Each structure stands twice: as structure tokens, then as C-alpha cells.
Amino acid sequence: MNNSPLFLYRFFTIYFIYIVSIGIVFPRGSVGTQLIGSLFLIFTFFHFFKLIKPIKLFNVVLFFVFYLTILVAFSSDIYYSLSNLAATYIWVLILPISFLSINSISKYKKLLNSIAFIAILYILNIILSTSLGIIGKSYSREIFEVGNVFTEGLNSMAYILVASPLLIHLNPKYKKWIIGISIIIFILVFVQLKRISIIAILVGIMIHLVYSKNRSNIFFGLIFSLLLIFVAYPVFESTLNKQLAARERRLTTQNLEEEGRYQETFIVIDEIIYQPNPFVFFFGKEIFNSPGNYANGRFGRRQIHNDYNVILHGSGLIGLLLFVFWPVPLFLFYKKIKRIAKYEFKDKKLFDYISVTFVIFLIIGYVLSISGGITAILFNSIRVAIMGASLRILYEHYLIFKRNKTKKEIV
């Protein structure tokens, strides 16, 4: 029996609960966290090898992580590099697992709903963290706590929000609930003022409005949501003003992290591209081990944040090209099958929502990489799980068309 779909349905909820519990139930860096992290990796590898087939579609992304694995041997802190590589392996392998196991609309719906469920968990996490005073990294401490779910949570919510039209179409009975929760999530993301997450949401909305055949439904849904937000504005106005004041102070303060975020791109380009060592130019140095190993150590233990800089610094020009181009075969495959697959969709709106969601997830992944998070499992796994499953649904309908055409030719 193939239980890989069940693995995916449970993965996101379990992993969300796990990251919430770090530092509360499981001390950071403890044996418990290492054991649980290892179990996630083992289960992911298990389902990957159980399903693995010679599909060229994933050659680039699999070669990418294999290439990074080789480079780990040259790290000055192999254990630290390996721990970050393991996180990257998990979300990369979720991509083929999703494609190979989510082969029907019913499974696709269950996967999407299981991912969307973490939006409810995200709201509950904020309520509990604030009421219990669970302090973690946050842009919103003046108004509420987010516990351990910071960037992973914000970027995950960005993906879920731009997938809400597809969610509504698949779950029409719960349309009002989905809209209501989406509005709450948008407000929670917006008041935290993490710019890259907000930009990703806006990019997703723009793609919906420009690319979708259902743009009128999306437009009116957006207008309705904005009106509700406007009506609710007095409720969170003071909260937003506090946050704007707090973020303004941070944005105008020349602290080390802000200076580093601006400067790291120029530093990494100078250290990897504009230097005489061809090995470093092509293969980089210290993969996933940047703290203290760039800018002559002047930033201390601060790691490189931007994913493009992380990969360029750690794996050179070859690694950067692989990282940028691994989604390209997926997009080319999508372009090849979507026109033919459309003919076999009885529900043309569903076809459109799946197609547009795939494109949005592909593009905003590039956007979110500017802020960083290549070793973040949750939101990267959401991205590739939906992309892989969307491609498989389109491919199944493509095959149906081909089979029907062959039957007609025989007759």
C-alpha cells in the first residue's frame, strides 16, 4: 500500500507543531531536537526511495543537493554544514514525493487542505505565545508574540494566502470560513511588516489578476476582503501604529544586522567572483557555514541571509546556476502539458486555479529567496509540495488525452 500521500498530509501539521515546541518542550540544540530532526529526514528519504522512478524532471534539483553534499566535505565545520544540508534535503525530496504520490483531485484536495490547516495553527500559536509570554524572534513584540514561528510562519502564510482562491474552489462549503481566516492571516502578516512576505503576497495577487481566466472572481473577492479589512481597521489601527513606529526605529537604526543585510551581496560577489582563485569562483567555500567565514569575520557569527548569496558563497557559480535554474525544467514541463491537459478537465475553473497557483508558487519562491531561508523546511516544503502535486494533476489529464487519442486512432 502506498502511504506516501498520508505522509504528506501529516507532515506539515506535525512539523509546525515541532517548530512551535522548540525551546519549550524540547530545549534548543538538545538530543530531542536532533532526534526528531533526524526522524523527519529518515522518513522523507524512506518515502523518496520507495517512490523513486527515473524521471528527468527532477534531475537538476537532485543534482543540486548532491553537488552540495560533495562540497560539505570541504567545510571547516562539517557537522554544522551537514545539519543545514539535511534541512535542504527534506524540502527538495518533498518535490518528487508529491509528484509521484498525489495523482488524483481527491488527494490534491487533501494535501492542500492539510497545508491550509497550519493557518489555523498559526493563529492559535500567536494567541498562546502572547498569552503565555513565549518570547521568540519577532518584529511584533510591541503588539503580540509569535513564539518560535517567525520567518517560517510568515512565508508559509504568504503561500497559503495566494492559494486561497484554489482553496475556496475546492471547498465551496467553507468559502466564508476561508475568506475570514485569510483576512485574519493577512492582517497578522501585514502588521508584522516583514517586507518580503508582503511583497510575495502582492506579487501573487498581481499574477492572479493578470494571468488567471477567473480574474473577475478573484478581483471581486479581493475587493470584498479589502472592504472587510477597512471596516475592521479601527480594531487594529493602534496596533498597526505601534508596529509602524517600532519598525521605523529599526529601519533607521544602523545596527550590525541591517548593515550586514545591505552589504553582504557586495561582499560575497567580491569574495567569490572578483578574486583570482578559479576553484572558489566555480565551487565557492564553506557551504552552509558562513558565520565567521566571510568579510574576514567582521560580522562575527552572523550568517549570510540572502539565499542567492548563501549559495554563491558556499558553492560558487556552479551552485548558483543550479539553484536558479532547478525550477526551469518544471516550468517547461508545465508549458508542454497544460494546453493538452486542459481538454480533459471537466472543471475548467479548477484547471485555471491549479495552473495559476503553480506559476505563482514558482515565481514567489524566487522573491522569498531574497530574504533567505533555503534551510527552512516548512515554507519551502509547502512550495514544492503544491508545485509537484499541481504538475502531477495536469500530467494525469495530459495522459488521459493521449490515451483517448490513441484509442480513436486504433478504432
For residue 17 the three cell numbers come to: 507543531
For residue 80 the three cell numbers come to: 554544522
Is the pLDDT score of 47 beyond 50?
yes
Mean per-residue pLDDT over the chain, rounded: 87
pLDDT at 410: 53
* Other CB atoms within 10 Å distance of the CB of residue 114: 18
Give me the residue label for grid cell 494525469: 396
**CB 85, CB 74: distance < 8 Å:** no
Q: What are phi and psi of 318, to 5 degrees?
A: -60, -45
pLDDT at 381: 97
pLDDT at 96: 95
Q: What are phi and psi of 26, to 5 degrees?
A: -115, 120
- How far is 229 from 131, CA to CA, in rounded Å? 24
- How far is 157 from 143, CA to CA, in rounded Å? 19
Q: Please report which confidence band the pLDDT of residue 411 belongs to, taking 50, 70 and 90 as the band edges.
A: very low
DSSP annotation string for 94-112: HHHHHHHH--SHHHHHHHH
Residues in the chain: 411
Please state the rounded mean pLDDT for residues 192-203: 88
Exposure class string for 132-168: b at 16+ Cβ within 10 A, else e: eebebebbbeebbbbbbbbbbbbbbbbbbbbbbbbbb
Q: Which residues pair with 26 in a beta bridge?
A: 22
pLDDT at 74: 92
For residue 294 the three cell numbers come to: 566571510
- Of residues 92 and 246, the one with the higher pLDDT is 92
Per-residue pLDDT tens for 266-317?
A: 899 999 988 778 999 999 999 999 988 887 777 778 888 899 999 999 999 9
Per-residue pLDDT tens for 205-237?
A: 999 888 887 777 777 777 877 777 777 667 666
Is the pLDDT score of 138 beyond 60?
yes
Q: Please report which confidence band the pLDDT of residue 141 belongs to, taking 50, 70 and 90 as the band edges.
A: low
pTM of the model: 0.92
Please state the rounded mean pLDDT for residues 147-159: 89
For residue 29 the three cell numbers come to: 540544540
- Of residues 149 and 325, the one with the higher pLDDT is 325
For residue 183 the three cell numbers come to: 483576512
Is the pLDDT score of 147 beyond 90?
no
Is the pLDDT score of 50 beyond 70?
yes
Percent of the chain with pLDDT over 90: 55
**CB 389, CB 111: distance < 8 Å:** yes
